[in-house]
């Protein structure tokens, strides 16, 4: 049945091939996905298709999307809930445009997002450019702009994403709703349907290792990443053991420096929050055995265990001498 739907949509749109296909996975968040869809349909780049993949039986979402009268909107309803990664991949397979942009159902885009990313992508020297941009991260504590900086020339992507160069917070970020790339690349490198966290980092690491793939960056704030409690938070439910297992499985895709930094900052923070004091010895062993930890990594790890999160936030504010920037979770 799903194959027949895919064929139908392709036949219907083949004579009006869009420049960009927007893929939005969703499940049981009708008002949020409607907001996301409208931010896509009101782009300055009008020759697009917007594919919403409803990941399971969800009558409320189907009903509210049916109220949107725009022929560019295609809604695909899956019979069984299989997760955001599966829905995202399914939407990418259904898409007919050369370029694909992902949008999470609780996020939004600035109106020029697709236009600027398409211009950057078509001007790129890479066969398969991955185009990202700045975003505004919204949390109950306020707003901040991410990433803190763009990747340096020849900087390994794993070090850009994971290495901490200051005691305050990370610097790099490539979030799903900023990703713009070729459908052909997504056919070669799909999202991992088994992951509940680190989905975007995982895809980036695997994709960037392919020949002809490179990262491009639009120096504009083009997305809004809503972290205001609307999405089910995985930061508390996703265990430190799962994060450790994930980075161990991707050790061949990251530098030793990035490997140890991820373990001593990201994984240690989760273990400390869980109160699992025995984990610190395991994590230190893993970092020294297979990584290249620096003094800052060891100090960060120690700080995770000595100071609770609210104390670390206060210390960060005092040392920086300015209002707190909003930390985001990778």
Mean pLDDT for the chain overall: 89
Q: What confidence tens digit (pLDDT) does each residue in 192-224 have?
A: 999 989 999 999 999 999 999 999 999 999 999
Predicted model pTM = 0.88
- What is the 3-state secondary structure of 228-260? CCCCCCCCCCCCHHHHHHHHHHCHHHCCHHHHH
According to the model, what pLDDT value does residue 168 have? 66
Q: Mean per-residue pLDDT for 16-45?
A: 96
Average pLDDT over residues 49-60: 95
User: Residue 238 — pLDDT band, cuts 50, 70, 90?
Assistant: confident
CATH of 2-226 given 3.40.50.1100, 3.20.20.210, 3.40.50.300, 3.90.550.10? 3.90.550.10
- Structure tokens of 267? 């994984």
Mean pLDDT, rounded, for 121-128: 98
**How do residues 255-276 score in pLDDT, each as one tens digit?**
999 999 999 999 999 999 888 8
> Which residues on adjacent β-strands are paired with residue 23?
51, 102
Q: What average pLDDT does range 295-317 have in this prediction? A: 76
Mean local confidence (pLDDT), 68-81: 95
Three-class SS state of 34: helix
Question: Per-residue pLDDT averaged across 137-151, rounded?
Answer: 91
Q: For the chain, which residues make up each domain, given as ranges?
A: 2-226, 240-320
Residue 53 has pLDDT above 70, yes or no: yes
Per the CB < 8 A criterion, the answer to whether 107 and 226 are in contact is yes
Find out whether 146 and 325 touch, Cβ atoms under 8 Å: no
pLDDT at 281: 93
């Amino acid at each position: 049945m799903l194959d027949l739907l895919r064929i139908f949509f392709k036949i219907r749109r083949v004579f009006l091939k869009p420049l960009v296909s927007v893929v939005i996975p969703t499940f049981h968040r009708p008002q949020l996905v409607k907001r996301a869809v409208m931010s896509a349909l009101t782009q300055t780049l009008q020759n697009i298709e917007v594919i919403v993949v409803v990941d399971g039986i969800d009558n409320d979402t189907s009903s509210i999307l049916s109220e949107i009268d725009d022929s560019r909107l295609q809604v695909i309803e899956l019979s069984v809930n299989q997760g955001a990664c599966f829905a995202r991949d399914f939407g990418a397979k259904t898409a007919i445009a050369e370029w694909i942009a992902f949008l999470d159902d609780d996020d939004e885009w600035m109106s020029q997002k697709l236009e600027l990313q398409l211009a950057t992508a078509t001007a790129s020297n890479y066969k398969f450019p991955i185009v990202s941009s700045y975003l505004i991260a919204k949390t109950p504590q306020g707003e901040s702009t991410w990433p803190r900086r763009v990747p340096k020339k020849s900087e390994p992507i794993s070090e850009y994403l994971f290495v901490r160069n200051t005691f305050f917070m990370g610097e790099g970020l490539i979030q799903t709703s900023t990703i713009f790339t070729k459908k052909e690349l997504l056919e070669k490198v799909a999202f991992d349907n088994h992951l509940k966290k680190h989905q975007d980092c995982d895809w980036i690491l695997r994709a960037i290792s392919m020949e002809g793939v490179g990262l491009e960056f639009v120096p504009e704030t083009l997305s809004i990443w809503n972290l205001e409690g609307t999405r089910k938070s995985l930061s508390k439910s996703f265990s430190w053991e799962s994060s450790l297992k994930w980075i161990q499985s991707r050790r061949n895709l990251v530098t030793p420096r990035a490997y140890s930094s991820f373990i001593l900052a990201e994984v240690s923070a989760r273990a400390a929050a869980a109160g699992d004091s025995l984990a610190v010895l395991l994590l230190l062993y893993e970092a020294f055995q297979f990584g290249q930890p620096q003094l800052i990594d060891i100090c960060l790890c120690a700080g995770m265990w000595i100071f609770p999160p609210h104390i670390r936030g206060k210390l960060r504010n005092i040392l920086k001498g300015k209002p707190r920037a909003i930390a985001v979770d990778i």
